[in-house]
Amino acid sequence: MILRRCDANYISDVERANTFNSVQTLYFTTGEATNDGKIITLGDSGGPVVSKINGKIVGITTGINGTIRGRGMFLPITSFLGFIHDPKSVKPLPHSLTPNEAKFIADIAVPGKFLTVTKEAYANADEDFQIRSNAIILSETEILTCAHNVHGAPYVYVIVNKLSDNPTKIKVTEDQIEIHEKLSGFAFDVAKITLKEPLEFSENVGSIDLVQEDYKLNDPSEIVSVYGDMTLDGTERTRRFDIKYLNSAICESKLGDRFDANQLMCYTLDESMGTPFTFGGPMVSKKNNKLVGMTIFRFPDKPVIFQPIVPLLDWIRKPRVRCNQRRRI
């Protein structure tokens, strides 16, 4: 066993996405062939990664997945400076939302079983088993959610003020559900529900404002909030998760043909904060608190797919299509 130095170079985000999983807090590098063709080997974990420019430590060798295809995996030290200087500064889990904080968020409960595939969804009337997903309150009579959450169901329940002690449960039949006419895979995987009776807005029930037509959600520095239910200590809580934009090239490399960069966005969540497990919920800009997108889907170990709201604005605002004019998918 001989201690050696290995010089390595940083590889691009796209190549990294093609090679490794979607963890965003890792450096991935190539380097000279040592240790039988590997850069790092068993026992190297915890060692230093040092800049050859200034001799300072810039990372820590990690053994999270060993070495893949002869490439090293290293944690950047800048991600942990706060922890190093103050161990008590570890980022806490997001807090549970109060009813007022979640006033524009609703639940969709689908009785029976259904497939989360947009063209094959179905449900039966088994009241003892209900699939839950998120939804967004647009107005007193309009609810937005994913098409794959409700498509094919003979009826669903819209649950409003779900975090309070007295939530409202409204039965919605198939004729009140309109699927977006451009539905194709995960693009435009949205449905609008029209309620027969208007909701009664209050301190804990209200609508969310929409962004304008010229809004562009492609700034890597912009932070948005997404919402989802997370189980912590055996209790399911609705929480907020703050995330940043992820380059579309990485999304395409990770999701392949399932991701349409012209119509969709994707983000990778901070796994240490937990992840939302329900879809159809809002993506809200932290700059102006307006609705900018909707959570669509997530594959295991893949970025989360989001539908931008801007391409939906005309469809959301237009009068509801009558039942006999609805397109069947």
Let me know if 246 is exposed, middle or buried by CB neighbors in 10 A (0-12, 13-18, 19+): buried
Which of 102-116, 188-202, 310-324 comes out lowest in average pLDDT?
310-324
| CB-CB contact of 203 with 149 (8 Å) | no
- HSE-CB for 267 with a 13 A CA cutoff: 28
Higher-pLDDT residue of 61 and 188 is: 188
Half-sphere exposure (Cβ direction) of 76: Cα atoms closer than 13 Å: 10
Per-residue pLDDT, 169: 94
Predicted local distance difference test score (pLDDT) of residue 202: 94
What is the rounded average pLDDT of the residues 61-70? 56
Write b or e for each residue in 46-55: b if 16 or more Cβ atoms lie within 10 A of its Cβ, otherwise e.
eeebeeeeee
Other beta carbons within 10 angstroms of residue 23's beta carbon come to 17
Query: Would you place residue 133 in the very low, low, confident or very high pLDDT band (cuts 50, 70, 90)?
Result: confident
Q: Which of 135, 136, 202 is nearest to 164 (CA)?
A: 202
- What is residue 205's predicted lDDT score, i.e. its pLDDT? 96
**How far apart, in whole angstroms, are the C-alpha atoms of residue 113 and residue 130?**
7
Domains located in the chain, CATH noted: 8-81 (2.40.10.10), 105-207 (2.40.10.10), 223-311 (2.40.10.10)
Residue 277 clears pLDDT 70, i.e. is over it: no
Render pLDDT for 24-61 as a digit per residue (tens, 0 to 9): 455 555 544 444 556 667 777 888 888 888 888 888 88
Alpha-carbon distance of 188 to 181, in angstroms, equals 8
| Mean pLDDT, residues 125-130 taken together | 77
pLDDT of residue 325: 41
Q: How many CB atoms are closer than 10 A to CB 69?
A: 9
**For residue 66, what pLDDT is reported?**
44
Q: Has residue 117 got a pLDDT over 70?
A: no
Residue closest to 226 by CA, chosen among 138, 306, 158: 306
